[in-house]
Amino acid sequence: MAKEGVEKAEETEQMIEKEAVKEPAEGGGGSHRLGDAQEMRAVVLAGFGGLNKLRVTRKAMPEPQDGELKIRVKACGLNFIDLMVRQGNIDNPPKTPLVPGFECSGIVEALGDSVKGFEIGDRVMAFVNYNAWAEVVCTPVEFVYKVPDDMSFSEAAAFPVNFVTAYMMLFEVANLREGMSVLVHSAGGGVGQAVAQLCSTVPNVTVFGTASTFKHEAIKDSVTHLFDRNADYVQEVKRISAEGVDIVLDCLCGDNTGKGLSLLKPLGTYILYGSSNMVTGETKSFFSFAKSWWQVEKVNPIKLYEENKVIAGFSLLNLLFKQGRAGLIRGVVDKLIGLYNQKKVKPVVDSLWALEEVKEAMQRIHDRGNIGKLILDVEKTPTPLMANDSTETSEAGEEEEDHEGDSENKERTPFIQ
C-alpha cells in the first residue's frame, strides 16, 4: 500500500511538471490551445453524489457575449450551498456535468458589446450563475464589482456571498438598529463572521452565537455571548436575556426553527437562509431530509399575529439570478465596500486550496472545520496526493469510484492564512 502511494505521488508530480510546461511563462494560469480551441482548467461535477463526482479537467474557454465581461479568475469562494449542489440537495438542480461555484475574483480580460464602466485589466469580484470554479468565467456586467486596491483576490472572493447575505438579512429584512440583539448560528462560518462584523457597526448590538467548541477560542472576541452548537442554547440565551432576542439568523433549519421562533421578542424577526442540517453524510440522505422537514415547527399565522413575530426567508442567489434584483445588490455592495475602506469589515479567510484540492476543501466545510471562508486559489500548486485524486482529462468525468478508505491515506494540508 505504501509503495502504491509513493508511485501515485511520483506520477502526480510528473503530471504537475508537464502541466507547468504548458502554462504561460508569466504564470497566468494553465490555459492553452489544442488545435484551434483555447482551453482552460475547471472543476467539473460529473453527476450528483459524493466527492468522487468532482474532477479538474480541460474545457473550452468561454468568450463574452453582449453585456458580459470575461474574467481571468484568481480565486473562487466555496460555500455550503456548493456542497448541497454537489449532492443534488437543492430544488430544481441543473443538469450535469456542470462547473460549480457562484463567486470569484480576478482580472477583466475582455469586454462584450455594450459593456460600460469597466476596462481590461480591472481587478474585480463577481457573482456567477454556476461556472465560477474555472480559470476563466464570463458573467453579465450587472454582477461584477470593482475591487478596492488594498483588497487581496482571496479576500475579494470571500466577500460577495457572505457579506451581501449578512447585510441584506440584518438591514434590509430585519431592520437592525441600535440596542437590538441578534442570535446567529454557525458563528464561526463565513456568513457568521460577516454578521458579527456588521453588527459591530451599530451601537450597542448584542450578538449571541452558536459554534462548535473548538472554534470558540478563535471567534470569542467577535460576538458578545458564545454557546456550544450542541448545547441547550435556548436556556442559555434566556438566562442572559429573559425576553429573548430581536433577530434570529438560522442556516440550520430542522428543530432550530421552533427554537428560534420561541426566542423572538415581540416584533422580532426570524430569518431562515439555509438548511445545513439536511447534510449529514457525503451523499444526499432522504432520511436526513425527512427528519429535518419533520422537526420544522409548523408555523401558525394566527400565532404569529397574536405574538407579533415575523418569519422570513432569504436566498441571495435566487434574488440575483431569478428575481432580477441586481440593482439592489449593487447598492449593497457599494455600501459594503465603503465599510471595508473604513476598516470596519474585513473578510475572514480560513484557508486556500488549489483547484485539484477541491475534494479536501469540500470535506473541510462538510466537517464544519472552517473558521471563515474557504477559497479555491486558481494559481496555487496542489499537494501531489490530492492532485492525483482530483485531476482527470475527460470532461465527461467517467472516473473510477474512489476506493473505500483512500481518503484516510491523504493528507489535508491546505495553506492556512
**27 Ramachandran zone, left/alpha/beta (phi>0; psi -120 to 50):** left
d(CA 79, CA 136): 19
For residue 17, which phi and psi values (nearest 5 degrees)? -65, -40
Between 4 and 174, the higher pLDDT residue: 174
Helix (H) or strand (E) holding 248, with range, is: strand 245-250
**319 Ramachandran zone, left/alpha/beta (phi>0; psi -120 to 50):** alpha
Grid cell, residue 379, equals 494559481
* 49, 96 contact by CB (below 8 A): no
Helix (H) or strand (E) holding 312, with range, is: strand 310-313
Please state, in angstroms and as integers, the Cα–Cα distance from residue 209 to each residue in 160, 193, 242, 339, following that order.
22, 10, 17, 22
Strand blocks (E) in 322-417 = 349-353, 373-377, 415-416
d(CA 59, CA 44): 9
* Mean pLDDT on 53-79: 97
Between strands 136-140 and 68-78, the pairing is: antiparallel
**315 Ramachandran zone, left/alpha/beta (phi>0; psi -120 to 50):** beta
pTM: 0.82
Predicted local confidence at residue 254, as pLDDT: 75
* Mean pLDDT on 79-93: 89
Please state, in angstroms and as integers, the Cα–Cα distance from residue 30 to each residue in 58, 60, 130, 230, 357, following that order.
9, 12, 20, 44, 16
Reported as a single tens digit per residue, the pLDDT across 338-378 is 999 999 999 999 999 999 999 999 999 988 889 999 999 99
Predicted local confidence at residue 37, as pLDDT: 63
d(CA 266, CA 308): 5
Predicted local confidence at residue 255, as pLDDT: 79
Please state, in angstroms and as integers, the Cα–Cα distance from residue 142 to each residue in 126, 187, 278, following that order.
9, 30, 33
* Mean pLDDT on 70-95: 92
Mean predicted lDDT score pLDDT of the chain: 84
Can you tell me which residue has the cell 511520483? Answer: 10
d(CA 170, CA 54): 35
Does 30 have pLDDT greater than 90?
no
Q: Where are the chain's structural domains?
A: 39-154, 160-346
3-state DSSP helix/strand/coil % of the chain, to nearest 5: 35, 25, 40
The percent of residues above 90 in pLDDT, for the chain, comes to 69
Reported as a single tens digit per residue, the pLDDT across 167-203 is 999 999 999 999 999 999 999 999 999 999 999 999 9
d(CA 82, CA 103): 11
Homologous superfamily, domain 160-346: NAD(P)-binding Rossmann-like Domain (3.40.50.720)
Helix ranges restricted to H, 342-368: 358-366
Helix, coil or strand: residue 239: helix
Does 385 have pLDDT greater than 90?
no
Please state, in angstroms and as integers, the Cα–Cα distance from residue 307 to each residue in 153, 204, 302, following that order.
46, 25, 9
Does 12 have pLDDT greater than 50?
no
Predicted local confidence at residue 281, as pLDDT: 52
Does 22 have pLDDT greater than 50?
no
Neighbours of 114 (CB within 10 A): 9
* Mean pLDDT on 18-41: 53
Fold of the domain spanning 39-154: Quinone Oxidoreductase; Chain A, domain 1 (3.90.180)
Does 147 have pLDDT greater than 70?
yes
Can you tell me which residue has the cell 459524493? Answer: 50
The percent of residues above 70 in pLDDT, for the chain, comes to 77
* 165, 316 contact by CB (below 8 A): yes
d(CA 181, CA 241): 9
Judged by average pLDDT, the poorest of 73-77, 159-163, 250-254 is 250-254
Most confident of 4-18, 83-97, 151-165: 151-165
Sign, CA torsion 155/160/164/166? negative
